[in-house]
Homo-oligomer: A and B are copies of this chain.
Amino acid sequence: MASAFQKNQFTIVVLVCQAVFMVLFGLFAKYDDSAMPGGSEDLVPMASKYPMFQDTHVMIFIGFGFLMTFLKRYGFSAVSVNLLLACFTIEWGIIVRGFLSHEFAHEGKFSIGLEQLLTADFAAAVVLITMGAMLGKLSPVNDVGGSLVVHTFGAYFGLACAKAFANSSQREHENEGSVYHSDIYAMIGAIFLWVFWPSFNAAVAEPADAKQRAVCNTFLSLVACTITTFLVSQATDHHKKFDMVHIANSTLAGGVAIGATANVVLHPLHALIVGVIAGALSVVGYKYITPTLTSKLGAHDTCGVNNLHGMPGVLNTIYPAMKSDTNAGGISASGQAVNQLIGLGLVIVSSIVAGLVTGFILKLKVFNQVREKEMYADGDYFETPADYDFTTRIISRIDRVEINEHTQLTQKEI
């Protein structure tokens, strides 16, 4: 039997969190001076930041939301849960980052302005603010696009979590698969991510020349990555066909892989090389590494985060370590490379440990579990229209009807 807590789990958790968040906002938050009356008449700062903020916003809510709609019965959940989770994380992220700010340490208040909204959107991309915020503060790591923290942490945390949470029924579930239209929905998300990724990597880069460099590097890396994805996807397929999973996901790996160093790489060719390696690695990951992860390690990776975020995030860090002439920062190139590698190690270890712990907690009987039948499906959580599962019902049926009809016609003819 479900306990009273289990029955109202969602209401209780969200209500309490929202109430606590509001109390904290009321006590400690204030708007940034530049956003207060008389604060600023200069239009340039906002004009230069706002469009990139909005592009990032589109990526978080449209991009990630629709990228996940590829499962045939999970469209409502994909978009909605993405929306709810991002909102939750944004509030949480503003508070945690606020508490960790110098301003809070000195004045007991933290400021909210356009910049904080942008970093809160980044936090929503990790969905793991506490850790993300701390790592962002503690490590002297070059990470304009947040690749290291956002993608690598997110990916390995998720995988470890999936491992700890796993049970055999999650694999090869009949609901895990796409239909023709759901794959096209997913492309809406994918292409918005693709189009706005340069903004994502350039949004926090400074000054203007670094911003432009981040845009150019990300653009070129994505372009090379996309061509490579098509190339490798077709070449590794038995029937020489393209796979929409690769096209929706691996084409983006170039954006992830160039992320941390988008403002650093100084030659267009390097951006292209990063894109080519990332695209190839990601397709190969989907083809060969995801099945192995599932069967050997028991970490079931529905969306292939290892291939989109994990490996490209790592590549991201290893790649600049190999190049000696592309770092223009204050630290020497090799010093920087060592820092990046240490940062990478910290991120991977902490993400795996945190993920395993979280997975075990989620598996506790105190929380509601998704019913096996309703895995990867909207049915248990959304009011669904009459045709919700009809594609699945009808497809198997068509062939059966075909046979029946044939039989009847034959019989009648006799």
* Chain A contact residues, CB within 8 Å of chain B: 7-8, 10-11, 14-15, 18, 21-22, 25-26, 29-32, 34-48, 50-52, 54-55, 57-58, 61-62, 65-66, 69, 72, 75-76, 79-80, 83-84, 87-88, 90-91, 112-114, 117, 177-181, 183-185, 187-188, 191-192, 194-196, 199, 207-213, 215-216, 219-220, 222-224, 226-228, 230-231, 234-235, 237, 239-244, 247, 251, 266-269, 272-273, 276, 328, 380-388, 390-391, 393-395, 397-398, 400-402, 404-405, 408
Contacts and interface: CB of A to CB of B under 8 A. Distances in A.
18 contacts: A14-B231, A34-B208, A35-B209, A36-B213, A42-B208, A43-B47, A43-B207, A76-B244, A79-B187, A83-B226, A90-B223, A112-B220, A113-B216, A242-B381, A242-B382, A243-B382, A387-B391, A394-B398
Contacts of A14: 227, 230-231
B191 A31 contact: no
A210 B34 CA distance: 9
A45 B43 contact: yes
Contacts of A42: 208
Given A7-B240, A14-B230, A37-B266, 15 more contacts: A10-B234, A11-B231, A18-B228, A26-B267, A31-B266, A32-B212, A35-B209, A47-B48, A65-B191, A75-B180, A79-B184, A80-B244, A112-B216, A112-B220, A188-B188
A38 B207 CA distance: 9
A21 B76 CA distance: 42
Contacts of A75: 180-181, 183-184
